[in-house]
Structure 1
Amino acid sequence: MIKSIFFDFNGVIIDDEKIQMNAYKEVLKGHGIELTEEWYFDALGMDDRTFVQAMFERAQKKMQPGTLETVLQAKTGLHRTMIEDELPLFPGVLNFIKAASREFSVGLVSMANAEEIGYVFERAGLGPFFSVMVMAGDVSACKPAPDCYRRGLEKLNEKRQSERLLPLLASECLAIEDSPPGIQSAHAVGMHTLGVTNTVSENALREAGAEVVTHSLADWTVDSVKLVFV
């Protein structure tokens, strides 16, 4: 029986994978790097630091001291500008999160940085619905490594212990992901997985190990989760 749901952020809660890519395209162009869709989507699951380092290596560009921080700050600022007028949350996701938080412990496991997550959570009023969050910097290894989901479960059980509740097993948790590395990360810990085709194809998610694949979280309810993941 599912007792906790962990959400990814980019591509699951907020529809900004293309926005992220375009922000990086503009910033990296100033450093002589032409970011392609192939390069970007090959790097799904990486945090920002790992991504920028990987793009410089792939372009065979030497990174000068201070360049990494400059790129990261510029990209985060541009990303905020791009979503400032209208927050691109996926249809139905806010209602689903609210409903889920009344029935399950809800957590966030994302490789996005705290500043970008914090901005969206504040704008959308998401904070009260999440018990725990794991973000870039909380673990050293990016998805598909299991570290982030393992840490998410640890943080949840630490909170439950403080509330005098029994710890949960990974098999009592559901991870909702939009990318193969995310599915693989959660699967490696032993969590159930629901893939959403917001970013890659159904086949790609199933090949990564997704138990169930959906085209939209707007089609899901708390009862759906209880019925499908028994």
Structure 2
Amino acid sequence: MIRAMLFDLDGTLVQTERLKAISYARAAHELCPETVAEAAVMDAYREVVGLSRQEVATALLERFGLESRAAALMQEFGVQEPWQAFVQVRLRIYEHMLADPDLIRSNCWPHSVALLHLARRRGCRTALATMSRCRQAGRILDLLGLRQEFDFVATRDDVEHAKPDPEIYLLLSRTLQIPPHECLVIEDSPAGVQAAIAADMHVIAVATPFTRERLHTSCLLPESHIVDDAVELLPAVEALISRLRRGAPA
């Protein structure tokens, strides 16, 4: 029985993973315009999507040899590590994107949002588990008019460990007072899927251009639990819930 539906935000309800990828790509190009192409950074981002801000920034700095360029900006930003300086450059770009309401609204995933509304109408508890910071997540939810659709919102500010650690999903389980095996998670990244599985929850993954290949090659989920076409999201969820009601393996 599924009593709660838990959603990721970036890449699942809204295409902010694409916007984040663009912001990292532009930031890397800004650090080293003579050798770093934005397209190459966008491609590299696919390998780290869903990980923590520190992990993403560190991986991209190492991949493109930008540590010294970022280190030169540490004093300017008042930070202690090169990855933190890189993040500050990237956040300046990303915050500019978030300031454009039309850009955010035009990047929502309608089928995931429709599933959220349906879950609410059916009396299912709903919650958000995002690795975005509270302020950024709140702005996106407000622009999309979705804040009131969640019983609880958990962000990176609420947990010590980022996905793929299950901490954020276990926090939602405790807060909603619903056991993990009665929760269904809607995710888009391998890291998010790993977190949900580690929390002993059911998972449906909605593949995006940034996560599709790794979702299929990671073998984390059966193919029936990976949705390549968003139109198939609701049928996939209904099929899983039906199997659980019959007592069949999910």
TM-score, normalization by structure 2: 0.76
Contact 2:101 2:143 (C-alpha < 8 Å) held by counterparts: no
* Partner secondary structure for residue 195 of structure 1: strand
Letter in 1 for 2:227: T
Letter in 2 for 1:226: I
Distance in 1 between the 2:128 and 2:86 partners? 26
Contact 2:208 2:228 (C-alpha < 8 Å) held by counterparts: yes
> Which runs of 5 or more structure 1 residues have no equivalent in the other structure?
158-167
Letter in 2 for 1:119: R
Partner in structure 1 of residue 28 of structure 2? 28
Runs in 1 of length 4+ with deviation above 4 angstroms?
A: 221-225
Deviations 1:3-39 (A, max 9, x none): 1011011111002322221122112322228362342
CA displacement at 1:190 relative to structure 2:
0.2
Q: 1:210-229, aligned counterparts within 5 Å?
A: 210-211=221-222, 212-219=225-232, 220=234, 223-224=238-239, 226-229=241-244
Moved more, 8-17 or 87-96: 87-96
Distance 1:12 1:101, change over 3 A: same
**Higher Cα radius of gyration:** 2
Greater relative contact order (Cα < 8 A, sep 6+): 1
Deviations 1:42-80 (A, max 9, x none): 112223344224333444414324225632530332331
CA displacement at 1:2 relative to structure 2:
0.6
Moved more, 195-204 or 169-178: 195-204
Higher helix share: 2
* Partner secondary structure for residue 181 of structure 1: helix
Partner in structure 2 of residue 141 of structure 1? 161
Distance 1:218 1:131, change over 3 A: farther
Tell me, yes or no, if structure 1 residue 192 matches structure 2 residue 202: yes
Distance in 1 between the 2:118 and 2:9 partners? 17
Q: 1:1-230, aligned counterparts within 5 Å?
A: 1-32=1-32, 34=36, 36-60=41-65, 61-62=67-68, 63=71, 64-65=74-75, 66=77, 67=85, 70-81=88-99, 84-85=102-103, 86-102=105-121, 103-157=123-177, 168-199=178-209, 200-201=211-212, 204-205=215-216, 207-211=218-222, 212-219=225-232, 220=234, 223-224=238-239, 226-230=241-245
Contact 1:105 1:131 (C-alpha < 8 Å) held by counterparts: yes
Contact 1:2 1:226 (C-alpha < 8 Å) held by counterparts: yes
Contact 2:184 2:201 (C-alpha < 8 Å) held by counterparts: yes
Q: May I ask how many residue pairs the two structures share in their alignment?
A: 220
Distance in 1 between the 2:179 and 2:146 partners? 25
Distance in 1 between the 2:27 and 2:183 partners? 38
Moved more, 84-93 or 186-195: 84-93
Moved more, 177-186 or 13-22: 13-22
Distance in 1 between the 2:213 and 2:53 partners? 26
Contact 1:93 1:218 (C-alpha < 8 Å) held by counterparts: no
TM-score, normalization by structure 1: 0.82
Deviations 1:174-226 (A, max 9, x none): 11111111111100010001011224337724734225122345441775553
